[in-house]
Structures are given as structure tokens and as C-alpha cells.
Amino acid sequence: AQKVTQAQTEISVVEKEDVTLDCVYETRDTTYYLFWYKQPPSGELVFLIRRNSFDEQNEISGRYSWNFQKSTSSFNFTITASQVVDSAVYFCALSDTGRRALTFGSGTRLQVQP
Amino acid sequence: NAGVTQTPKFRVLKTGQSMTLLCAQDMNHEYMYWYRQDPGMGLRLIHYSVGEGTTAKGEVPDGYNVSRLKKQNFLLGLESAAPSQTSVYFCASSSPEPNTEAFFGQGTRLTVV
């Protein structure tokens, strides 16, 4: 069975601080896919990034960066110089190559104070 | 360019009533999913479909039924609603290609009283 753990339930930072959201996953598959989604207060789910198990390169997109480490089964997400608009719930998710359904973590609520 | 559309957006049901949630996608995706989101638990898979005419159970299927009569539509039914089914329901669709993301609808907030 697959499992995703986001141990940080809620994080509060002040604007311009850097913040890292942790994600640890469990799977028996050798091929799998990892995702981060953002859920702003309006409720929709916004796709942020996708990473497959073959690609351990870190990725940077503007103020966002992701650190994928197979050795520790982690896929952490860092926001640099956080902004109030980053306030949201962030979900890490894992999918297999079969049914392609997502197994979600419980989410981390990020509050960025002005 | 609608993507994934869920109907309705909000609904209040009385215990024992039935209803159907409709999900429609215009991306010609083969795979469709229904999830429920409860506080502190993330999203959990209810049922899914890998093609027209096929459905399968997810992790929390009890109390729900689904149908995929047309490729673009995936219906979620509650035959006899219970307060435990109060939740936010999300539909999603994806391509069979593994290295692609799922696209989500805007969610349906259901309250069973």
C-alpha cells in the first residue's frame, strides 16, 4: 500500500521568510510519480509540480523549489521569500503507473502573516 | 476551455435522501476519479474509472455508487445519505500517460443533516 506523510499540520511564518514543507512517502513500486498541489482558501486544487521516480534532479520555479531524495523517500517543497498569497493548504501526493490514482498526504496549512 | 466541471457546487441533504453528483470533462481523458476531502485527512479515493463503461472501487467506496456511461461524464451517487458523508467531493480526470497530472474540478460541498 502507498502512504504519504506530511507531518507538519500547520506552519505560520512572516512574509519574506523561507519555509520548507516536508513530504515523506512509502511505496513498493519502483516506478512512481510525486506531485504537489496547492489549495488556496477558495478551495480549488492547483497543480504545482510533478516528478517521476527516475528523476532526482531538484527543480526551481521562481520562488518555489523542490528537493526529491529517493534515499530518504522524501519530496520536500521550499518557498523562498514567502508572500501572503502563498497562504494555502499544500498537499503532497503519490501515484502509481496502474490506475494512476493519487494517494494524498493530510496536507500542510501555511499561513503567511504580513 | 472548461476542464473539469462538477455539478452542483453546494448541496444540503437530509439523512436518507439520495442524490447524484455529476462530473464532466472536456479533455478527452480516459481516467476519471472521485475523491472526498475531510478535515485533517487529505483527499481519499472513493471510486475511479479507466474508461467508458468501467468503474472500480477506491479506498472508501461504501455508501457510494458510480457510473461512466459516456467517456466525458462520471457520476457519483449516494443512495441513502448519512451524516458521515458530509464532505467536500472532488472529481478529477487524467490521461493514461503516467507522467501527467490530474485535473480537478472545483469541488462540491455536501452537508447531510
Is the pLDDT at B97 greater than 90? The verdict is no
Note the pLDDT of residue B57: 96
Is the pLDDT at B1 greater than 80? The verdict is no
Mean pLDDT calculated for residue range A12-37: 95
Mean pLDDT calculated for residue range A10-19: 97
Cell of A97: 503507473
Q: Roughly how many angstroms between the first and final C-alpha of chain A, as a whole number?
A: 41
Question: Per the CB < 8 Å rule, is A43 touching B94?
Answer: no
A9-13, A62-66, B36-40: which is most confident: A9-13
CA-based nearest distance A35→chain B, Å = 8
Mean pLDDT calculated for residue range B75-98: 94
Instruction: Find, in chain A, the residue whose alpha carbon is nearest to that of B49.
Output: A99
Instruction: Find, in chain A, the residue whose alpha carbon is nearest to that of B105.
Output: A44
Nearest to A107 among B42, B50, B90 (CB): B42
Is the pLDDT at A7 greater than 90? The verdict is yes
> Cα–Cα distances in Å, from A40 out to A60, B48, B106?
21, 25, 12
Cβ-Cβ contacts under 8 Å, B98 against chain A: 31, 33, 52, 95, 97, 100
Question: Per the CB < 8 Å rule, is B50 touching A102?
Answer: no
> Cα–Cα distances in Å, from B69 out to A57, B26, B51?
41, 15, 9
Note the pLDDT of residue A57: 82
